[in-house]
Chains A and B, each alone.
Chain A
Amino acid sequence: MSASPSILSSPDRGGPAQPLLLLSGLKKHFPIRGGLFGSTVATVRAVDGVSFAVRKGETLGIVGESGCGKSTTARLLMRLMVPDAGSMVFDGEGVGQNAQTGGITLKDYRRQVQMVFQDSYASLNPRLPIEESIAFAPKVHGVAPAEARARAHEILAAVGLAPASFARRYPHELSGGQRQRVNIARALALQPRLILLDEPVSALDKSVEAQVLNLLVDLKETFGLTYVFISHDLNVVQYISDRVLVMYLGQVVEQGPVEAIYDRPAHPYTRALLASRPSMDPGRRRTEPPLTGDPPNPINPPSGCRFRTRCPFAEGLCAEREPVQSALGGGHEAACHMAEPGSGHSQAGKLAA
Chain B
Amino acid sequence: MTATANATPLVALRDLSVRFVSRDATMHAVNGVDLDLAAGKVLCILGESGSGKSVTLRALMKLLPRSARVTGRIEVAGRDVQAMNERQLQDFRGGDVAMIFQEPMTALDPVFTIGQQIAETVMRHEGATRAAGMARALELLELVQIPSAKRRLAAYPHELSGGLRQRAMIAVALACRPKLLLADEPTTALDATVQIQVLLLLRKLQEQLGMGVIFVTHDLGVAGEIADRVAVMYAGRVVEEGPVGAMMRGPLHPYPRGLLGATVHGGMRGQRLTTIPGAPPSLETLPTGCSFAPRCAEAEPACLAGVPEPRSPVPGRSARCIKVAAG
Which residues of A approach B to under 8 Å, CB–CB? 65-66, 175, 177, 205-211, 213-214, 217, 232-236, 238-239, 258, 262, 272-273, 276-283, 285-295, 297
Contact = CB atoms under 8 A, between A and B. Distances in A.
B196 A294 contact: no
A294 B164 contact: yes
Interface string B260-274: 111111101100111
B155 interface: no
Given A205-B218, A279-B221, A236 B264 contact: yes
B245 A210 contact: no
Contacts, number: 125
Nearest to A286: B200
A109 B199 CA distance: 44
Contact of A65 (B191, B223, B265, B272): B191
Give chain B's interface secondary structure class: helix
B248 A282 contact: yes
Contact of A207 (B162, B203, B245, B275): B275
A282 B224 contact: yes
Interface in B278-317: 279
12 contacts: A66-B162, A207-B259, A210-B261, A210-B264, A211-B275, A214-B275, A279-B221, A281-B224, A282-B224, A286-B200, A293-B163, A295-B191
B193 A214 contact: no
Interface size class of B (residues with CB under 8 A): 35 or more
Contacts of B191: 65-66, 232, 294-295
Q: Which 7 A-B pairs have the closest CB atoms?
A: A278-B221, A65-B191, A210-B262, A205-B48, A207-B276, A280-B224, A294-B161
Q: Which residue of A175, A206, A283, A287 has the most chain B CB atoms within 10 A of its CB atom?
A: A206
B13 interface: no
A294 B221 CA distance: 21
Contacts of B218: 205-206
Contacts of B262: 206-207, 209-210
Contact of A262 (B48, B193, B219, B266): B266
A68 B122 CA distance: 39
B273 A294 contact: no
A207 B197 CA distance: 27
A214 B272 contact: yes
A4 B248 CA distance: 50
Given A207-B275, A207-B276, A294-B162, A278 B266 contact: no
A282 B245 CA distance: 6
B225 interface: yes
Nearest to B50: A205
Contacts of A291: 193, 197
Contacts of A272: 193
Nearest to A65: B191
A108 to B, nearest CB: 34
Interface in B199-231: 199-200, 203-204, 218-225, 227
A258 B259 CA distance: 25
Contacts of B161: 294, 297
A282 B193 contact: no
Contacts of A285: 203, 225
